[in-house]
């Protein structure tokens, strides 16, 4: 081996070593802030969750008792159940509506699609608190919804939508549907526009109708988009806080309480920090697990 190659090799090593140092310098500010204000407190949450602490006095180590309480506390159990119900309204319903809507719009060239896209995406950029205040007015006993029902003669259906043990959770859930459907539809439309038109024309020559077309061509192409849409909306459902805080505060009774709201309530109103952080850890694990499962199913094939 000649001297030349050795030199080249050495200088290459030196450069990569230097560039390694430089890279860490560039990463440092981001890593420090991110580590100190997100990663570290996340670790602390795991630690807190093993203690009983009221936020002020002494803390006592209780092992996994706080996690056991999640299983046996009625209020926490229903909170997780409600999160699941919200998944239906935030993720499943928007997906179904979005698929139909996007398929219809992609099939025929309708004018004004760009404008429509901007309109249905709008709820995504409005502060959730504003959305919640708005819908609280709409659902009010003398609000527009009941007014409309009276107008068309359906007086028997009118009710205080946010003060009813049966209907409040679906009423809150539908606000989530209103917010999420646009995002899901826009995502799916982007995916469907990738399908080459010839494919549809070929299918049509073969005599397949719109329904077969949808299941044979459209659905398989947007698999990736469906995965992304489900991940986003399911996580949004599980993290619901502002909406419940502003519309119902978890009530009436416990009928609309959700894990995030319970975390806030336990930590800052009841002084039960240990259980609150345990719920946070469980919620994090659920979010990651769902992400994993959805992506695994989406990647198959």
Partner 1 sequence: MKVSPIERGANYLVLIGFALVVLGPIGVIVTMAFGPKDASAGREGGAFHPENFPEAWEIGRFGQYMLTSVVVATIVVVVSVLCSILAGYALGTMRFRGATLVFYVFLLGIMVPTEAFIVPLYFDLRVLGLTNTVWGVALPQIAMSIAFGTYWMRTYFRSSSTALIEAARLDGANSMRILWQVLVPIGRPAILTLVLLVFMWTWNEFLIPLVMSPNGAVRTAPLGLAFFQGQYTQGTALLAAGAVMVALPVVLLYVFLQRHFIKGMIEGAVRE
Q: In the window 60-99, what residues touch partner 1 (CB under 8 A)?
A: none
Helix, strand or coil, per DSSP, at residue 62: coil
Output phi, psi for 52, to 5 deg: -100, 125
What is the smallest separation between the CB atom of 203 and partner 1, expressed in angstroms? 11
Of 6-14, 80-88, 129-137, 150-158, the window that binds partner 1 (rule: CB under 8 A) is: 129-137
According to CB under 8 A, which residues from 191 to 210 bind partner 1? 197, 200-201
Structure tokens at 250: 């978890």
* Rounded CA separation 175/131 (Å): 8
Q: Pick the closer one to partner 1 by CB: 78 or 188.
A: 188
Q: Which of residues 231-290 bind partner 1 (CB under 8 A)?
A: 231-232, 235, 238-239, 241-242, 245-246, 259-260, 263-264, 267-268, 273, 276-277, 280-281, 283-284, 287-288
Q: Which of 1, 30, 152, 205 is in the footprint of partner 1 by CB under 8 A?
A: 30
Give the nearest distance from C-beta 2 to partner 1 in angstroms: 25
Query: Which element (helix H / strand E) includes 18?
Result: helix 3-34
127 binds partner 1 (CB under 8 A): yes
**By CB under 8 A, which span of 42-50, 60-68, 88-96, 162-170 interacts with partner 1?**
42-50
- 129 near partner 1 (CB under 8 A): yes
What b-and-e string marks burial along 74-101, b requiring 16 or more CB atoms within 10 Å of the CB?
eebebbbebbebbbebbbebbbebbbeb
Report the alpha-carbon angle 105-107-108, nearest 5. Answer: 75
Q: Is 31 within 8 Å of 15 (Cβ atoms)? A: no
């Amino acid at each position: 081996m000649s001297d030349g190659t050795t030199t080249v090799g050495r200088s290459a090593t030196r450069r990569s070593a230097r560039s390694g140092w430089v890279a860490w310098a560039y990463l440092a500010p981001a890593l420090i802030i991110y580590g100190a204000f997100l990663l570290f407190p996340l670790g602390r949450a795991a630690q807190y969750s093993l203690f009983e602490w009221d936020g002020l006095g002494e803390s006592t180590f209780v092992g996994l008792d706080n996690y056991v309480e999640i299983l046996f506390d009625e209020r926490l159990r229903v909170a997780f159940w409600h999160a699941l119900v919200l998944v239906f309204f935030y993720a499943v319903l928007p997906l179904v509506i979005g698929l139909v809507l996007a398929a219809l719009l992609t099939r025929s060239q309708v004018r004004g699609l760009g404008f429509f896209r901007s309109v249905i995406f709008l709820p995504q950029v409005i502060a959730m608190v504003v959305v919640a205040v708005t819908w609280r007015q709409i659902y009010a006993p003398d609000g527009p919804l009941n007014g409309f029902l009276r107008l068309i003669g359906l007086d028997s259906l009118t009710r205080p939508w946010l003060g009813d043990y049966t209907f409040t959770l679906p009423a809150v859930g539908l606000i989530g549907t209103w917010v999420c459907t646009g995002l899901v539809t826009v995502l799916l439309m982007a995916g469907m526009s990738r399908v080459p038109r010839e494919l549809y024309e070929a299918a049509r020559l073969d005599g397949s109708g719109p329904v077969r077309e949808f299941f044979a061509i459209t659905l398989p192409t947007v698999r990736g988009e469906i995965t992304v849409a489900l991940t986003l909306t399911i996580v949004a459902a599980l993290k619901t806080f502002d909406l419940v805080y502003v519309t119902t505060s978890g009530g009436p009774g416990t009928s609309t309480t959700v894990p995030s709201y319970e975390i806030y309530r336990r930590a800052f109103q009841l002084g039960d920090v240990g259980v609150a952080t345990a719920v946070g850890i469980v919620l994090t694990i659920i979010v990651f697990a769902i992400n994993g499962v959805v992506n695994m199913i989406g990647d198959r094939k």
